[in-house]
Amino acid sequence: MQIALHIGAACTDEDRLLKTLLKNTENFAAEGIKIPGPGKYRRLIRETIQNLNGAPPSAMTRDVLVDAILDDESANRLVMSNSAFICVPNRIFENGVFYDQLEAKLGAFGQIFANDDIELFLGLRNPATFVPAAFEQGKTKNFVEFLSGIQIEQLVWSHVVERIRAVLPQASLTVWCNEDTPLIWAQLVREISGVDPLTKISGGFDLLATIMTEDGMARLGAYLKTHPPQTEVQKRRIIAAFLERYAIEDEIVEEMDLEGWTEEVVNHLTEQYEEDVFRIERMPGVTFISP
């Protein structure tokens, strides 16, 4: 079976991707693609991994899990999403390591589904906005305690990607930037679900509708009908042009109210992030989706 797992990152799409996938459940099921609700697997997989406590799973663990998730139905591809799969936001920097639990969680997952084709999906976010968002969602109110001694220079996603590849080298890994999701949303839905690139989907503009005015969305829809794009790249250019004109500013401008989070720090992290993304795009074993 193909096992597709969207592992976040935390504070990126806020389950919007999962909601769009669930809109297509019936159509995708006809192709052997099952997208169960999160209540079917998030707690179940988390508790299974916790109960293993580092020990190898039994021969029956995988089948019991799959039967419970799919209600004993069959599928060619199982699609799941959990941005807190590795850890909840307040533990992201636990022990002074960016995603310290990565190896344990993904390693156990890989052992459970060792005979399946695992596909991992990861959306990145600029640390300049990622850190404040994670801190806000976390339970800790002390920012220094939240960082657990980690230095901002250590906040590079390429190290996380390298560790994912090291612990699950047999799995495919697809990566993108959260900042680009309004432009690549439909492709993300298709990639994670595993359908043909030309397959029609519901909710292809779900995310865009949250950051563009109603008038802008109406005008975009009308324009696409009268000027249908010939390629995905052309479609993204059209979306970008409308977004530039009709974006809801409060939805695209992110407030960062952290002591010591100066403009200099933000600029440094943003520049470092851009260089890091450039590095990830060229990493072997990584499929990078860009606008």
Where helices occur in the chain by DSSP H, the ranges are: 16-23, 25-29, 42-52, 61-70, 102-112, 127-137, 143-147, 157-167, 181-193, 208-211, 214-226, 232-246, 249-252, 263-281
Q: In sequence order, what are the residues at sequence separation of 6 or more whose Cβ sits closer than 8 angstroms to the Cβ of residue 143?
A: 135, 258, 259, 260
Helix (H, G, I), strand (E, B) or coil at 205: coil
CA dihedral of 39, 45, 46, 52, whole degrees rounded to 10: 150
**In the predicted model, is pLDDT for residue 243 greater than 90?**
no
- Residue where the block lists tokens 């950051």: 211
Categorize the per-residue pLDDT at 257 as very low, low, confident or very high, splitting at 50, 70 and 90: low
**Are 265 and 152 spatial neighbours (Cβ–Cβ below 8 Å)?**
yes
256, burial (CB in 10 Å: exposed 0-12, middle 13-18, buried 19+): middle
User: Which DSSP symbol is given to 254?
Assistant: P
**In the chain, what are the helix, strand and coil shares in percent, each to the nearest 5?**
55, 10, 35
Reply yes or no on whether the pLDDT at 174 is more than 90: yes
pTM of the predicted model as reported, rounded to 2 decimal places: 0.90
Tell me what pLDDT residue 252 has. 52
pLDDT tens sequence across 275-290: 999 999 999 999 999 9
pLDDT at 172 over 70: yes
> What does the pLDDT look like over 149-160, one tens digit per residue?
998 878 999 999
Other C-beta atoms lying within 10 Å of the C-beta of residue 115: 7
Mean pLDDT confidence for 30-48: 96
pLDDT of residue 209: 83
Cβ atoms of 80 and 36 within 8 Å: the answer is yes
DSSP-derived letter for residue 2 is: E
Q: What is the pLDDT of residues 55-99, one digit of tens each?
A: 999 989 999 999 999 998 899 999 999 999 999 998 999 999 999
